[in-house]
Homo-oligomer: A and B are copies of this chain.
């Protein structure tokens, strides 16, 4: 048994479908509506832990969880001109209730800016109430016409954490953009998911935003996936709803808003980025089970070995380390190894007669597949220590893999061939002119992710027009 990622990278698409289905995370492609999958019990628990993580980060920064209706009247969605323009082509519409035609079509929410602004207009009267930070975790819907991919490009995004904030001033909303970015950094850092942060180009910002900042990561096949976005909405929506509030100086003005979201794609990234040829490798922070204990059957002392295994599981659970004992007699140890490795349980503890006699346990790490023998007396500390090492190793190696796929080139043809050969992200010097940016997309066949949110070292000339570069643009093949 070797640690390999051959299948993951050489045939990612197949590997990804296999792991979601075989590890019973998501049943996708069989439910009789295109682009909609079923979260299986094991996958649901992973999702729950991911959500607990983001909820903690949001709650401790003063965000309040709410729940808005699914249905948005067409008249409401149409309030902000760019917004409806951006979304109307991909909205599911409810047009009938029972046998009656509805007077006003109702959209399945594609996102909730208009609903939230509508209610904020009733709730918020003056600056003393601001800032307000709301969020909800809901399903959103997009009528995708392209080929769908589980958790990546779907018609029902079952996990959409959308935050919506409102502020007295442009500057306070800008401060909120920074806070959101710092929350998302913590979130992805805690899960060992590497990312680059880019200011999306003008032509690819959120419909209705002043500007959009996005988190992107690189999947094992070299393609880039957007895993989080943060939008400064300015006064676009509050003006559309004619929502004025009293400011500190007594004047009336439209408040400023931000919104930011992460979705199912965060879970896709957890699976895809850490996985190997044996299956999922779950980060300890989101693994539903941290340790699986497997008693090795023995003709003699079989019961004693089982008791020993139970004792170990009990002491781990008592220490708050979620542990499962797999003492199913119908399966062989080999079948159990396969089963739990596929599901990505971070640690496997094997105990047989030898361990029983020596009062030790054998601990196998899922991330490196390395084994270690530990004395029973030091079990809890050893497990905690190894889990910590796993987190460190997952973060370090996933960042290393990503950085190897980001390259700076000064020539558009080279950029194009890089994108065609090894994909990843190429960064090219850019003058700042949108026309040149759009040409880069045309000529490379890639998609512009935008310029770095945090300062990039700039040298050289725009690869399109030859003017001195103001920044770099990141280009990639995306999902």
Contact = CB atoms under 8 A, between A and B. Distances in A.
A73 B122 contact: no
A172 interface: no
B98 A96 contact: no
A145 interface: yes
Interface in A42-80: 44-45, 47-48, 64-73, 75-76
Contact of A156 (B71, B96, B122): B71
Contact of A88 (B27, B45, B98): B98
Contacts of A69: 31, 33, 36-38, 156, 158
Nearest to A156: B69
B99 A67 contact: no
Contact of A31 (B32, B41, B75, B115): B115
Given A71-B156, A106-B33, A156-B71, A66 B39 contact: yes
B95 A93 contact: yes
Contacts of A118: 31-32
Give the number of copies in the complex: 2
A310 to B, nearest CB: 19
A97 B92 contact: yes
A91 B95 contact: no
Contacts of A143: 97-98, 100
Contacts of A90: 97-98
A81 interface: no
A158 B67 contact: yes
Given A39-B67, A65-B41, A89-B99, A30 B119 contact: yes
A262 to B, nearest CB: 17
B92 A92 contact: no
Nearest to A90: B98
A108 interface: yes
A40 interface: yes
A139 interface: yes
Contacts of A285: none
Contacts of A97: 90-93, 143
Contacts of A105: 96
A40 B92 CA distance: 26
A296 interface: no
Contacts of A108: 70, 94
Contact of A98 (B73, B91, B99): B91
Contacts of A67: 38-39, 44, 47, 158
Given A31-B118, A41-B64, A36 B71 contact: yes
Given A27-B122, A32-B73, A115-B31, A68 B38 contact: yes
Q: How large is the interface on A (under 10, 10 to 19, 20 to 34, 35 or more residues)?
A: 35 or more
B44 A66 contact: yes
A98 B106 contact: no
A31 B119 contact: yes
A149 B143 CA distance: 32
Interface in A81-135: 88-100, 105-106, 108, 115, 118-119, 122-123, 134
Nearest to A48: B65
A38 B95 contact: no
Contact of A32 (B30, B76, B139): B76
Nearest to A67: B39
Contact of A73 (B33, B68, B145): B33
Contact of A96 (B31, B92, B123, B141): B92
Contacts of A39: 66-68
A392 B188 CA distance: 45
A81 to B, nearest CB: 18
Contacts of A156: 69-71
Contacts of A44: 64-67
A80 B143 CA distance: 28
B89 A98 contact: yes
Contacts of A158: 67, 69
Interface of A: 27, 30-33, 36-41, 44-45, 47-48, 64-73, 75-76, 88-100, 105-106, 108, 115, 118-119, 122-123, 134, 139, 141, 143, 145, 156, 158
11 contacts: A27-B119, A31-B69, A32-B76, A36-B69, A38-B68, A39-B66, A40-B66, A41-B65, A69-B156, A70-B141, A89-B98
* Shortest 5 CB-CB contacts between residues of A and residues of B: A97-B143, A41-B64, A36-B69, A39-B67, A93-B96
